[in-house]
Amino acid sequence: MRRHAHSTPPVDSGFMREVTETLSDSQLVQRCRAGDPEAWNELVERFSRYVYAICVQGFRLREQDAEDVFQEVFTRVYSRLDTLRDDSAVRPWIAQLTRRLCLDTLASSARVQPAEEVLAPSTEQTLDEIDEAFAVREAVTTLSESCQEVLDRFFARDESYRTISAELDLPAGTIASRISRCLVQLRERLEGRNEGSTPSSE
């Protein structure tokens, strides 16, 4: 396998993402292993908010500690990517790395109790909520543009059927039916998200 001779992951903010951002997690990992720098940048971009959310929302790390964990997570991902047995499981793998590093950070600080006592039930619940929120967000991006638009308007922007109908120049009944169909598709994506999926043709 061809790998870059970098001690730290190369991140170029000017890379082209038109192709890599449409890849499944599994395909993205394969491209990273092949030495594609654009794929690596997309992998960091795809999971950066997820990692930071675990650090800040899940473990309540201070900003500097969260940044240190963030950097270390992706350094380890870069150096250990070849050890990942199931390419489609990159998200839970990254989550596991992040949690361990967060625990190490907390355990080394005099501000908290021993590491094995850190994960209170409320923390576990927060981590589960983070996992679910990012899984939903990722699944939505695999839907058609029409589905993404109506779901965004209805749930994220809290627009009514009437408002969406007026904006899209479609009957309210059509909007309601489309939202219903899109939610069914979203549920299917969530149930099989680790297997990889292709955009809907709706």
- Residue spans of beta strands (DSSP E) within 4-152: none
Q: What is the pTM of this model?
A: 0.55
Which domains does the chain possess?
1-141 (1.10.1740.10), 144-202 (1.10.10)
Q: What is the pLDDT along the chain (202 residues), one digit of tens a residue?
A: 444 444 445 554 444 455 566 788 899 999 999 999 999 999 999 999 889 888 888 888 888 899 999 999 999 999 999 999 999 889 889 988 998 888 888 777 644 444 444 455 556 666 666 677 677 777 788 889 899 888 888 877 788 888 888 999 988 888 888 988 888 888 888 777 545 444 444 4
